[in-house]
Amino acid sequence: MKRFRLFLLTGIIIFTGFSSFANSFMSLWFGAGLSFANNYDYGQSYGLTYFKAVKNGVGIGITAFSQSYDQFYNREASVVQGATLSMKAQYYFFSPTIAMDLGRSGRFKGYIDIGVGMLGSGSTIVHRWSTTKWPLGSSYDSTNTQKSSEFSSMAYRVGVGFSQFYPLGGRFYLYMNEDLGILPLALQNANDGNYDYSTFTGNLAQVFTPTYLTLRMGIGYIRRR
């Protein structure tokens, strides 16, 4: 939480200096998203988006936010062996943003942001089991937990989406946003050698590189030039 507050404060300080330019937009929002694969629970996010119009419907700004991830993977290598993997993590992202008007009203915008995130917390639980009873093996049931130290301290994220601005009166508006967040690199290395993943089948890497579709809603303020 302290890191996220630092991100927000830094973003506000940086862009306060641009207030003399064209219209600026500031939005505080909360969101919830689901991953495209191996989803267990929705990932909460909250943050601040700030950008200013520059020219010809284009705006530049920054988005500072928290994003949580909650993944679950369940695969059986045979009828007598199985394993489950549960991954939870939270990162604080700081992402420069470019927005562009979609239409003449200025109320609908598309955007792309590319940013870096810092690890807040994370844990991975691996549960392996076997019911083998014959001489070639033995039954077992084990649970291993990997803590935050196993996660990447920094993550990289590319976001694309659409934003809508609905007037509430005066300079305030209702902010709506549909965001697709892509992680180019894994949050954790599934082949780090600390645990045996041989009982998993399929694409285990999907657990650690989730792509999230997030719906956001918040309140914003427009500062006129």
Q: Delimit the domains of the chain by residue range.
A: 2-223
Place of tokens 């070639």: 136
Backbone angles phi, psi at 156, to 5 degrees: -120, 145
Residue holding tokens 């950008």?
A: 51
Predicted TM-score (pTM) of this structure: 0.79
Are the CB atoms for 73 and 39 separated by under 8 Å?
no
| CATH class of the region 2-223 | mainly beta
Q: What is the pLDDT along the chain (225 residues), one digit of tens a residue?
A: 555 555 555 554 444 443 334 578 899 999 999 998 888 888 999 999 998 888 778 889 999 999 999 998 876 656 666 778 888 999 999 999 999 888 777 788 899 999 999 999 888 887 777 776 655 656 666 666 665 567 888 999 999 999 998 999 888 999 999 999 999 998 887 665 555 555 566 667 778 899 999 999 999 988 766
Find out whether 61 and 80 touch, Cβ atoms under 8 Å: no
Asked if residue 158 lies in contact with residue 114, where contact means CB atoms within 8 angstroms, the answer is yes
